[in-house]
Structure 1
């Protein structure tokens, strides 16, 4: 039974599945054999991308995972005793069927009191950055993953679990084809990495006019665009300061990178506004997932200041563009009422990050952090706002 009763249905904007080893390879074309492999390193299975072992996800098989909500205390009070990451995670657990398959996941959602959820892949976040010099490979791997997601989870299981396929953008025509493919199979939301888009001539913003045919098709389909936290490639920038070339490892953060942790989403949202995509396509629905909300105030202040000094660079007020198009799922430990004051409570989305260790062990406890809101506004945050985006 749910840990408590609420008077409204819950729609969780941030749930995750754990992929199996064949998720990226089962449907990968033969010409890309060997591009992705699982290898044994001193008794542990690791993933190798084109022969390069990645530590981005320490256990890419997900046979053993951190317990849901293992880091709640860390985010609540910090780390005053200086525990190691392993100590913070605590005792791991064997992955259960509900992390791997939709039918048992639906049963678990009933136990947790979650009516509907967006379901994001986990392993997908490492793909694009490690293949950015080969756009054709990126598209092939992403499509292979989407085929696996559709076969294993579906994109709208029982009209309650909305698994979110990945769309990569290096080749615009292929991105449109992929979008059409997933929408034809029931996708209601798509995952786009908040990062510069790799291509044959280097990287560029996805908000430049060359991507307009893609955004036009997104508007026509009505799907929600989810900018979910991923490896956005900012390790290169950090490495320039730190004097090394190590891989970005989310489970081994350091102080310098933590201070600038939200720079990728700041840049992504700012690009959508300053490069004009949200003005050319004002009906685009964008949700920022698992990126918190601490960056919102500074970005709004920066946009207001630039607009005051350079109004000729904008066709409309950039602050109002953000408030019109961008929806945000804040972390449970943040001030949701304050965020509502900044962007409107209709733009705030409940997301538990279940079953990741950074999320909530009991997603329903998110409502405990909405005490400053009326029950009507709590209902909007906990499900009504996302229902409007998905069903509308």
Structure 2
């Protein structure tokens, strides 16, 4: 049960479902048979992408998962005892129907005191980076996943659970087609990976004019664009410094990568501004989810400095563009009042990351970290701001 009932409705910007084994493959065209497989390695099930085993998600079946909020103490006080990740996670649990199906999840939300939520897939975060040299395969797998999401969860379940389909951008025309497909079936938000877009000629920014037909259609549909934490591919840059090539493993971080953890979202937001997409399409609604907010103040400072020196490179003041278009869901342990001062409290979104171990076991306790805000502003952060974006 929630720790208390609040006087205003909660709209959680960061909830997750756990996919079943068939999520990526049930609707995958026959020509891609074998592109994604589940294999057994030393009595453990792993996912293999085009024959290469990935350790990105330790248990991709999600039959057994870490308990919600298992890492709360870690984020509250750090890790002074040097515990291993396994020790921090503690005793795991078997997945429950509420992690897999919308009906039981709605019942769980009632018990948690959450009225509405954005519902993100979990397995989706590994797709693009492991297929970046095959844009056609990326689009095929993304569409297969979206078909499964629509069949299993729907994109708008009882106007309370808004499942977020994935849109990948390597081939712009296919991205527009995918956007149209999900919107026609009720999607109110879409997930775009905050990373360079893979393509036949290499990677490039999704904010370049090449992608304007996609962003124009996003504006026309009114959907919210969620830049949710994913495998951005930046581990390759870290590998250049560390002298080794290995897959990015989010549950086995090291100090060097942790220091630069927010580079992908910094670059993604900066690209949207500096490459002009947010000035060409000022009505775009962008929500930064599960990327924290520690990067915001330094980025605002750098944008202001560059604009002062190179105003001719911008269509408008880049600091004001960020404050106009970018909404951010900070981690509970961050200074929400300070973030409100930087971008406006109307741009701050509550997100619990439930039921992931990095999130909150009791989502309503997020409000306990809004101590410097008025009751009116708490209501905005805990649900009013996201309701405005989704219901508009």
Instruction: Place the TM-score, normalised by the shorter chain, in its bin.
Output: over 0.9
When normalised by structure 1's length, the TM-score is: 1.00
Q: CA RMSD in A?
A: 0.4
State the partner residue of 1:136.
Answer: 136
SS in 1 for 2:190: strand
State the partner residue of 1:232.
Answer: 232
Question: How many correspondences in the alignment?
Answer: 392
Mapped to 2, the partners of 1:2 and 1:229 lie a distance apart of 27
**Cα offset, 1:204, TM superposition:** 0.1
Report matched runs for 1:291-310 at 5 Å: 291-310=291-310
Runs of 4+ in 1 over 4 A off after TM superposition: none
Mapped to 1, the partners of 2:307 and 2:188 lie a distance apart of 34
Contact preservation (8 Å) 1:35, 1:49: yes
CA displacement 1:19-59 (0-9 Å, x = unmatched): 00000000000000000000000100000000000000000
Contact preservation (8 Å) 1:346, 1:380: yes
Report matched runs for 1:97-136 at 5 Å: 97-136=97-136
State the partner residue of 1:145.
Answer: 145
Contact preservation (8 Å) 1:2, 1:110: no
State the partner residue of 1:186.
Answer: 186
Report matched runs for 1:19-168 at 5 Å: 19-168=19-168
Mapped to 2, the partners of 1:175 and 1:84 lie a distance apart of 41
**Cα offset, 1:162, TM superposition:** 0.1
CA displacement 1:141-198 (0-9 Å, x = unmatched): 0000000000000000000000000000000000000000000000000000000000
SS in 1 for 2:226: strand
**Cα offset, 1:266, TM superposition:** 0.1
| 2:244 pairs with 1:244 | yes
Contact preservation (8 Å) 1:132, 1:199: yes
* Unaligned 5+ runs, structure 1: none
Report matched runs for 1:349-388 at 5 Å: 349-388=349-388
Mapped to 2, the partners of 1:359 and 1:231 lie a distance apart of 18
Mapped to 1, the partners of 2:110 and 2:309 lie a distance apart of 52
CA displacement 1:285-339 (0-9 Å, x = unmatched): 0000000000000000000000000000011000000000000000000000000
Contact preservation (8 Å) 1:24, 1:145: yes
Mapped to 1, the partners of 2:262 and 2:377 lie a distance apart of 27
SS in 2 for 1:252: coil
Mapped to 2, the partners of 1:2 and 1:258 lie a distance apart of 32
**Cα offset, 1:2, TM superposition:** 2.8
State the partner residue of 1:261.
Answer: 261
State the partner residue of 1:277.
Answer: 277
